[in-house]
Amino acid sequence: MIEITVLGIESSCDDTSAAVLRGNLLLSNVIASQSVHIKYGGVIPELASRAHQQNIIPVVDTALKEAGVTIDDVDAIALTRGPGLLGSLLVGVSFTKGLSIAKDIPMVEVNHLQGHILSHFIDLPDTEMRHPKFPFLCLLVSGGHTQIVRVDSPTEMEIIGTTIDDAAGEAFDKCAKVMGLDYPGGPIIDRYAKEGDPKRFEFAKPSVADFDYSFSGLKTSFLYFLRDRVQENPEFIGENTADLCASLQKTIIDILLNKLVKASKKTGIKEIAIAGGVSANSGLRNAIEEEGRRRRWNTYLPPLKFTTDNAAMVAMAGYYHYMKGEMADLSVTPTARLENMF
Ligand code: KG4
Ligand code: ZN
């Protein structure tokens, strides 16, 4: 069987990425990260779209070269339609339309969140990969989203729990900012947490119905806690960074796991995956595996390079939609909010 070749293009936030898949097999995955935002402590949309504009042609070109293919070998181009920053998405969508018209290649639109989940089905060359079996539950934790998704097939997913305010990644990033750490704060907190005592401080945990999440209360209580301590001792943050990071990270992980356990019990599903930028967190990865051993779950952690935004996952999602004959036409427009998965 000749497998189809999909070029994936991702530009929803601050990473410009292009990847080539043949069937499920990854041939290349190129990511240009934008350092321009670090000094502002967050992504500046206007600067992000300009950087995408500069990066996109060299990134796509490199992805094709690294895959050892030319654009004429590509059967479909998968684009991220949303959710994300509108100006950033526009660059990827417009570029893809141009390439699609010029080369007469069909386009497939992808929901970025479905992409994160389907990163679990990417095969790497010469590597034995474990893929979740359907139905499975995926804890999707990124900078913009925190959801528990029931996945019945590559294109049939249902959100059964979601955040009612901030996302888990946002909680990491905002609390890091309060401590004076760089953006994105998640990976920095992760590093400090390894040296710290997770039981040293206690922060408020929310009580929200069903499988939904809330992180804004934690963020506020963290802020007030620090304000009070810094008034007593201006050096408090610097002297306690590791313990603060470890305790905060532990609180976020406990909140995430608590609802995931509930969702598994309620649905009876024991195939459990995590995805999204926060699934790179070493504490969360360990905690999921530990919980899984205790509860006889089959747990699936994505390779680290597929946790944060990348085009390989977009190509993977695009592949499944292409196989179902679901092509996009030239009227496709980016959308900032695309909470619904289908
Ligand atoms: O999925 P992603 O790359 O972008 C979105 O779609 O939002 O996720 C980015 C988020 C950021 O909030 C970042 O701080 C967080 O993922 N993140 C982490 C880690 N690596 C990235 N959070 C905690 N620990 C990490 N190791
Ligand atoms: Zn993402």
Q: How far apart are CA 219 and CA 217, in angstroms?
A: 5
Nearest Cα residue to atom 8 of ligand 1 = 277
Mean pLDDT per 10-residue section of the chain, whose length is 342 residues:
92 94 98 83 86 95 98 98 95 98 98 97 95 98 95 96 95 96 95 98 93 96 96 97 98 98 98 98 98 98 96 98 96 85 56
Taking the centre of ligand 2 as the mean of its atom positions, its distance from the CA of residue 303, in whole angstroms, is 15
Find out whether 251 and 218 touch, Cβ atoms under 8 Å. yes
The predicted pLDDT at position 326 comes to 96
C-beta of 276 in contact with ligand 1 (< 6 A) = yes
> Could you say which DSSP state residue 132 is in?
P
Taking the centre of ligand 1 as the mean of its atom positions, its distance from the CA of residue 136, in whole angstroms, is 22
Tokens encoding 287: 């905690």
Q: Which domains does the chain have, with CATH numbers?
A: 5-124+306-323 (3.30.420.40), 136-302 (3.30.420.40)
Give pTM, 2 decimals: 0.95
| Beta carbons within 10 angstroms of residue 270's beta carbon | 15
C-beta of 17 in contact with ligand 1 (< 6 A) = no
Atom of ligand 1 nearest to the CA of 276: 1
Find out whether 29 and 21 touch, Cβ atoms under 8 Å. no
The predicted pLDDT at position 341 comes to 60
Report how far Cα 299 is from the mean position of its chain's Cα atoms: 18
Sign of CA dihedral 84, 86, 88, 89: positive
**Distance between start and end Cα atoms, the chain:** 29
Helix runs in 16-166, H state only:
45-67, 86-103, 112-118
